[in-house]
Structure 1
C-alpha cells in the first residue's frame, strides 16, 4: 500500500476536486465513500462522506487524517478514482492487496471549485457552464443556466453520469471502447455519455444509439454532426433484431419498455459486455402471469399486483445476470418523487457463473412465471 499512501499524500491538497472509493469487498462495509476539499476559517480540510444502508455520514478531517482513513478504507474497497484539476487517477486493489494506479491527463483543465462548507451540490455537468447538447435539448440557456422546468432532467443526467464514473475502472481504456445504448429516445443520456467521456475526459470511445422512432433518430444524428461527434452514431431499429455489432464493452438500456429490456440484456450477455446499466420500464409481462394461492389475498389488488410483478421481474433479471457471470446490484437511480421508475440494474462481468439457477427456478415455479430473459439466456 506504499504507492497508495504516496498518491494520497501528493494529491490531498487544494488541487483535489474529488475522490470516490467504491466496489466494496464485504456487504457490511461502506457502499461508497466520497471525498472533497473544503476551507473552514482558512484551514484546508477534507470532507469524507460515507454511504451505508442508504444513509450518508459526514466527517471533516485534516489532510494527514484523511490520508490515514482513506488508506484504511481501501482495505475493503476494490477501486478509487481521484480527480484533480489536471489529472484523473484510477486505483485498483486486487484480492491479494496489489495496488495498480493509472494516471490520465484530463482533456481540459477544470475550473476552481467552491471550497465553502455549505456549498451547493456539485454536479458532474455544472450549472453555469454551457453544454452544447443541453442547450439544443432545452435543458440549459445560452448562459449555462438550467431551465427551471427541466431541472429534474438535468439532475437525472448527472445522476446517470455518477454511475458511469463508478464503472470507469472496469473498462479497458487502452483501446477503443464500444458502448451501445438500446432505446436511446431523445438521447439526453447518450449525448451526456459522449460529452463526458470523450470531450471532457478524452477517452477513445464509440457510442451507438438505437431506437425505433425514425424522426428521433434523424434529429439526434443531425445534432451529433453539428457538434462534430464523429464516433457517435444513431440507428433506427428494433433491439431484438439488431445485428449491427458483434461486440460491446458496455450496454445501456434506459426505460426500454417491457420485454425490450430483456432482449437488450440478452444481447449484452451474448456479447460478453463488461458493464451493463439498465433502468427497466413498464414491466407488464409477469403481471399477466403471476399467481399464487398463498399470495392471492394480496394479488387481488391490481395496483399491488402490478408493483409486485415489476419488482419480481427486476429481481429475476438481476439473478439471471448473476447466473451468466456478472456481479449485479440493484440501485436507486433517482428519488422516487421524480419518477416511479427509479431502479437501476448494474452488472459488471466477473467471468464466474452464478450457482443460483435452482433457487431461481423454484421462485419461478412458486409464482407461476416464465420471464422472457430466462428463456433467451437458456
Structure 2
C-alpha cells in the first residue's frame, strides 16, 4: 500500500462515518510540542463533526471540524506524524510510516460491530477546577464561597486558567535549587498575579518571591491587603513604573500584561538584561510602528486606518518575538484567550536558550525592517545584545 492509498482508505472510511476513535503519534520533528493527537466523532448542533484533541506535555486542546472539511486536515496531520492507530466500526488499523513515507499497514477485521459514541462532553479539564473553592478566587470575586464560578466571571476564570497553562508549561525552565524571582509589570487588579502565586507556591510547592508593580496606588493598596489576608507572605505589590524599578540584578520570570505601546518593550528589554529564563507578555496598544510605517508597496492595505492599525499591531509583535529570538530566546506568539472575548489576545512566550542567531535569520529580520522603514524601540533598547 502506498502513502496516498493509505490516506485515501482512511479518509473514505471516516467520510462514511465509520470512525470510532483514532490516535496519531510519533511526531516527525522533536520540536513539535503536540506529542499525540486523538480523533473521535461527535454531533454538534445536529451536524457530524470530528473532534481533534491535541495532547501537549501537560495540557490538552480541542478543535471540532465538520466532516466535509476533515480530509484536508488529515492530510496536514500526516505531514507531521508517523504512526496511527484507528478503530473503525468493523476494522482496526495500525499504520507506521518511514521517514520517506513507506507504509507499514496492519488491518484486523471484526465480526462484531463496535458502537460509536457521538456525545459531546462539554466539561473542560481546567488546571484550576471550576467546582473547587480557591481562597484567592473567592476573595477576588470570581467564585462564590462554596467554589462555584460566578456566571459573569466565567470569562475571567477561563482567562486565569489559560494563563496557568502557560505557567505550567514554563516549569521546566525555572530553577529548582533556589528561590524563584518573579516580576509582574502592570499587574493591575492582579487576578493573574494571584493565580501565578497560588499555582507555583500552593499547588507546586516552589520557593518563590513575586512582586507586582503598577502605577495605581489604590489598586496596589487593595492587592496588598488581599495578599496579607490570604497569608501570601512572598507576594508583594509596589507602586512604580517599569523604568524606575531598579531593585533587581537578576530575575527568573517576567510577566507583563497589557502594558501600553513601548511600555511592553521596556519590560521585555529589562527581562533580557536581567537574563530572565521565562517571559510572558500580553501587549495592549501598539502605536510606535504605526507612526513609522512608510511602505508605498503596502499602501493598498495601509491607506485604511483600521487595517493599518491591525497590521502595525501584528508586525510589532512579530518584531518583538524575532528580536527575542535574535538575543537568545525561543519565542512564540500564542493565542491567550478566545478572539470572541477580545481582539487583543496574543501572548508572547519566550524561553531563554542562549542559542545564537544565524546570519540568515538576522538578514531576514533586517529585510523586514527595511521594507517597513522602521526602527523599533526594542531594537534600540537591546542594541548591545543584537
Tell me if both proteins adopt one fold, taking TM over 0.5 as the criterion: yes
Is 2:193 aligned against 1:184? no
Match of 2:263 among 257, 260, 264: 260
2:203 alignment counterpart: 200
Structure 1 residues 151 and 57: CA distance shift in structure 2, 3 A: closer
SS in 1 for 2:297: coil
Is the 8 Å Cα contact of residues 177 and 249 (structure 1) preserved in structure 2? Answer: yes
1:302 aligns with 2:305: yes
Which of 363, 372, 376 does residue 371 from structure 1 map onto?
A: 376
Structure 1 residue 128: Cα displacement: 2.0
Unmatched tracts of structure 1, length 5 or more: 1-20, 36-46, 59-72, 76-115
Match of 1:219 among 213, 217, 222: 222
Residues 148-174 of structure 1: CA distance to partner in whole angstroms, max 9, x if unpaired? 111100000000000111111111122
**Is contact 2:254–2:278 with CA below 8 Å preserved after alignment?**
yes
- Report if the CA contact (8 A) 2:53-2:62 is conserved: no
User: Is the Cα–Cα contact under 8 Å of residues 194 and 232 in structure 1 kept in the other structure?
Assistant: yes
Q: Is the 8 A contact 1:184 1:210 kept in 2?
A: yes
The two structures have a TM-score, normalised by structure 2, of 0.70
Whole-angstrom CA distance in 1 between matches of 2:37 and 2:163: 16
Distance 1:315 1:119, change over 3 A: closer
CA distance in structure 2 between the aligned counterparts of 1:174 and 1:263, rounded to whole angstroms: 29
Contact 1:291–1:299 at 8 Å: present in 2 too?
no
Q: 1:336 aligns to what?
A: 339
Q: How does 1:252-331 map to 2 (within 5 A)?
A: 252-331=255-334
For residue 343 of structure 1, report the CA deviation from its aligned partner: 0.7
Aligned residues: 291
Deviation at 1:74, TM superposition (A): 12
Partner residue, 1:357: 362
User: Match of 2:54?
Assistant: 50
1:243 aligns with 2:246: yes
**Kindly tell me: are residues 288 and 199 of structure 1, through their superposed partners in 2, closer, same or farther at Cα, counting changes over 3 Å?**
same
SS in 2 for 1:346: strand
Contact 2:52 2:62 survives alignment (8 Å): no
Q: Write the distance in 1 (CA, Å) between the matches of 2:333 and 2:158.
A: 20
How far is the alpha carbon of 1:285 from its aligned partner?
Answer: 1.1
Q: Go from structure 1 to structure 2 and tell me whether the alpha carbon gap of 1:309 and 1:51 turns closer, same or farther (over 3 Å shift).
A: farther
Question: What stretches of structure 1 move > 2 A for 4+ residues in a row?
Answer: 23-27, 29-35, 47-52, 54-58, 116-119, 355-359
TM-score by length of 1: 0.72
